[in-house]
Each structure stands twice: as structure tokens, then as C-alpha cells.
Structure 1
């Protein structure tokens, strides 16, 4: 199966092709074909006539002349919005749309326009292609296959969404009943991109019912880098907790409710994970699994709690929320975990240039900490 992405960028092929090649070289199924943008209506007409699995768009399509000597007068957000509208009207096939641009362009406009973020399934910087091409290529292929799966699957409501997540009926009781409730009702079918956006944004790209490997390790009290038996623990004893639903190939995640059930069964302990510090969690796991090369991470700052439950957004290290400050941003859904900056990261303004800011409700507390 060949996955073809059309990459629209106003740069000439000599400048744009290295990015296309830098992505497609990491996956045998993936082909990325560069095109310069053309006049808006002609662009839409051409895309309707072509066969492709997805789109990659540069943010600014209105800066350089194309091969016809003309500068187009629209940007990626306008094109993506029109394509999403037409897909909703079933005039074209719904496909994943990714954004690929420079850091400078993102900071100048895209990051300031939160309304446009829902148009794209993934956002990448051109600077990341060289060092992160493998991940980008895997995600693009996974997105295309996921769109095809949603399009071919039957169903219309919340149970359809939970089915895409490959949850069994017995698991529904462990999931917040509000998750996916927006898909309930009399409407027969939502556009493919709405199902994809919901799963990616509200489940796979945030902690909640599903957690990343780093969060999994933090909650088990494990330092991945120093624990040579981490992969054995993860793959042998917590393999049944791994998410196997849509998009799982590129977004490895674990069901937290299954992790807690496995912990109780494995350790035969009445103590909850949340109530133990990292050292106690590791002791229980070593005793239960006989894996001796498991070690707990040091706290970010001396004196911090080691009852780790999240990651510091600045340092990306295990953190007990008690030693953190809420991060400013879009309010989480009821089933999503809140995001935190460690006090140390907040005081040192770590991640400030990347947009990490302390929540307004925490600023008075931060001011008090600065005064100490």
C-alpha cells in the first residue's frame, strides 16, 4: 500500500524537495510530492482530481512566485478550511492535513491564532525534519491509514468512537461517560476529520485515560534511562495495558485504568500507586517481577515529593503535582489531566520561549515563591 502526500509549499523544488525527501526516506510506503501553490480555485480543482492520501502544507503560501510567475493570495489555513468544509459536504474525500513550516512563521502567526489549530492533524517544524524524520514519517503514514479506517468503519455515535479505540464493552465502565458524548444524537455520521481530531487531541496527545511511556514510567516510579529492565517490565508485565486502537502505531499509549488493575494484581498490594513514593513502587515491582535492574528517578529539586504522577512540561521529568504550578492554556476536558510546570522550571522560566506560561490563577503563588 502506497501512502502519497502532496506537499504544497511556495518554495521552488530545489528548496522544498529536501524536506519531502527527508520525510519519505524513512518509510517504504510513503511518497511525498512537492507542488507550488496555484490560484485558489484552480488549486481546489486540481486537488479534487488527484489521488492522494494526505496533504502537507507550508503555513505561508503567499510569499514567493510560483512557476507561472504569480504569487498566490492565500495561506495554508484558508486552504485547509475550505478542504475541511468540502469534505464535510462530501464533495471531496476527507484526508489528513499536516502543517510544515519554520519556527519563525509559527511564532509570527499560527501560534497566536488558536482557532486555526483544529484544521490540522499534525504540526511540524521544518527544522525538526532532519532530526525527527522517522517519527514524522511514521505519524503521516499512521494518519493516512487511520483516516481510511474511519471512513470504512460503520457506526455513528459514541459507541462508534469507543470502538475505534478498540475498547471492549466491559471496559466502558472505566471510561468517563462524557468522553465522546459530543458524538451522541440523531446525526447519522460526522466527517472523518472530526473523529480523528477528537481522538488525537483529546486522547492521544494529552494524558488522561491514555498515557505516554514517560508518564507510565513516572507513575510506576521508574527511571527509564538507568533501568535496564524497563523494557522487560513494560513489554512483559504491562503489555495488556497497551493501547491498540486507531493511530496506535505512531502514538504508543497505555490505558491507565488497566495499569492500575495490573498493578493491584501483580503486586497483590492494597496500596494504590498514587499513595506510594517512587522507591516504594519500585520495591513492590522488583519483588513481584524479580527484575532487579529497576531504579527510581531523582526528584527535579531536592526536597520535592517522589510520589510522581505527571511530567514537568519544562524539564519533561517526573513530578508530583504538589511541587508544580498549573500551566496556562486551553482548559482540559473532564477526563484529561492538568498540565504542570515544576516550581523550579517556573522560577527559571524554562520553556518560556516555547510558550510555556504559568496559569493566571497560579501567578500570585509564583510571585510569593520568587520573594523567598
Structure 2
């Protein structure tokens, strides 16, 4: 019989549909009201023996000291003092919660942040993530409890063919003391800098772009079966469908040895070769966007998630703290033409000038 995981839901209003939806996914949820002090609130959470802390971003209107960030900071400080280490997920009715999340990421406070509307629409997905966060923490803590046992690439389940191709900068970062000794730090690194972004792993949208084939194709799932060897199966793979980027290139070389590399082919050329190889007659090739020139897709627009050849994109300035093993990010011209000044300011300086020049030239 599987263990029922317990979630402490810290919320100063009615728990309502959030609590009901999570319980329908098999969790035990206890609504915790913020107390007069952080210590009293922490004591309540510990009495529940919770496996995960879910908390609203704004607690006690008019008492900002009890909003999520300061309490999470207090909670995280108890790792050393009391050994308290749980996943913390922040949830909010504010649509821009991801902006707040980014603001506090550097403080190592939250494992994940999501707005309530998105959560209610995709409860099953996020509850899957809850399961993986809990299991991930427990697995990492168990490994760390064994004196001298180092947490290494085995938690990523790297295919044999790729073990020598994993970016050494990621492996060096994983070996750092702060990640080896703190499950939260290790979990956060893997989720935010390895599993979710485009880099060593790629998601369905980028995979579609690199194969030049629409995910709406009737034979899309049949095609995915051919790539199963290089599907990611490590930590957080039950929530996020990912594939090893280098693995897809190896798969191409093995199955299309006389063809050019994927990067050099147009979407229609990729689609034609794959269809002929596997006898799929229900694959749809991707088409270029209105203001693009190329269908040699390799990534997606960071705003619209539509396929994009980087030569048609405008590169986003990279956060200096960003993981160096990640791919550059781009916006398409079609997305930027209607974008706000805040979005435009994310571009590299010379890319912003290039965009303005293209607008002037019509």
C-alpha cells in the first residue's frame, strides 16, 4: 500500500477548492492558519508531520512580515537548527507570481511557484510535481545520510551513450558542498537549472522544432516511441516530459547516416526523411512564422513557444547567475512587435537595436 503524503497548506483564508482538488489526487491536506509568531506556525506544521509545505504568497493582509518570503526564509533557517527540510511551494491569486518567485530565487526560498488559476486548471500535473518533490527530497536526504556517499549523476539516469557528453560544468556544480549537503539546494538546482529550461534536456515544444514536425500530427506519439531510448527518466521526469538533446542528435546520426545534420535541414526535409524511414504518413511538417525566413528550427520563442530558427530570433540577455550549460533564449519578431517595453528590455542591447531597425525598415 502506497504511503499517503501529507501537505500543510498555510493560508489565512478558506482553503476551499485548492484543498479539495489536492485531496482528490490522493494527498492528505491540513489547513494551517498563520499564528502570532513564526515559531508557533512552524510548530503547527511539525505536528502534522507534513511532507510538503504549500503556502499562499500573501498571508494576513496588512501584516507584510507574515507574507510567504519572510516565513519561508525563517523556515529554511531551521534546517541547521532543527533539521527541518521540506519542499516549499508558493501559490497566489496574483498572475505575476512567477515574477515574485524570480525575485526571491536568489534567496533560496521556494521550490516552485504557481498562480491559483493555473494550479486549478492543471491540478493533476502539479500534484505529480508534489510527489516528485517529496520523493526527491527523501531520496537526496537518504543519500546524504550515508556518510561519505556523494550525490552524483546517477540521480539523472544518464544513458550510457551520453555519460561522457554531459556538460562538466553541471557535474562540477552538483559536486559543490552546498548542494551535496542540502536537499533543498540540490532539488532546486536540478528543477530550475536542468529539468525545466532548454539545454542538456529539451521539452516537447523544442523537440517538435528540432524534428520539424507538429505535435498535432496523428503519428506524433508513434514517432516519440522511436525516441524512447533518449527520453529522460531521472528526477522530476514523471512531471516533465524531457529528452536528452545530444541523444536526439545521436538518434539522427544512427538512423539517417547519409543525411545532413538536423540543424542544416529545413522542417519539410526532416519531416520527409522521418516519414519515409518509419512509414509514417500522418506527420505534419512545421511551417515558418509570418515574419521569419527560415524553417531550420532549433528552439522556440520564449514568449509564444512557437518554433524558431535562432537566426530569425532576438536573443534575450542572459542572467549573469544563469547556468552556463543552458541554451540562449530568443523572442521572435512576431512576438516582439506587440510586446511591452518590459519585454523589450530583456533583449541584449545590440539585439534591441536590431529589432528597432527591422521595425523601421518595415
Query: Structure 1 length as normaliser, TM-score?
Result: 0.87
Which residue matches 2:5? 3
The alpha-carbon distance between structure 1 residues 349 and 308, as it changes in their structure 2 partners (threshold 3 A), is same
Which residue matches 1:68? none
Deviation at 1:46, TM superposition (A): 2.6
Whole-Å separation in 1 of the counterparts to 2:356 and 2:148: 47
Which residue matches 2:68? 76
Which residue matches 1:86? 78
Which residue matches 2:109? 119
Unaligned runs of 5+ in 2: none
* 120-129 vs 355-364, greater mean Cα deviation: 355-364
Whole-Å separation in 2 of the counterparts to 1:303 and 1:187: 44
Task: After superposition, give the CA deviation of every residue in 1:91-141 in whole Å (9 maximum; x if it has no partner).
Answer: 23421110101226738x826734557321111101223322221221112
* 250-259 vs 124-133, greater mean Cα deviation: 124-133
8 Å CA contact retained: 2:9, 2:55: yes
Whole-Å separation in 1 of the counterparts to 2:271 and 2:92: 43
Whole-Å separation in 2 of the counterparts to 1:105 and 1:308: 30
8 Å CA contact retained: 1:213, 1:253: yes
The alpha-carbon distance between structure 1 residues 271 and 366, as it changes in their structure 2 partners (threshold 3 A), is same
The residue matched to 2:305 in structure 1 has which SS? coil
Task: After superposition, give the CA deviation of every residue in 1:176-210 in whole Å (9 maximum; x if it has no partner).
Answer: 11113134367794200111011001111101110
Whole-Å separation in 2 of the counterparts to 1:320 and 1:156: 48
**2:20 paired with 1:21:** yes
- Alignment size in residue pairs: 356
Unaligned runs of 5+ in 1: 65-70
The list of structure 1 runs, each at least 4 consecutive aligned residues, that deviate by more than 4 angstroms after superposition, is 114-117, 154-159, 185-188, 352-356
Whole-Å separation in 1 of the counterparts to 2:103 and 2:284: 43
* 167-176 vs 250-259, greater mean Cα deviation: 167-176
Whole-Å separation in 2 of the counterparts to 1:287 and 1:188: 47
Whole-Å separation in 1 of the counterparts to 2:210 and 2:305: 14
Which residue matches 1:46? 44
The alpha-carbon distance between structure 1 residues 243 and 266, as it changes in their structure 2 partners (threshold 3 A), is same
Which residue matches 2:60? 62
Cα RMSD, aligned residues only: 2.7
Whole-Å separation in 2 of the counterparts to 1:275 and 1:47: 55
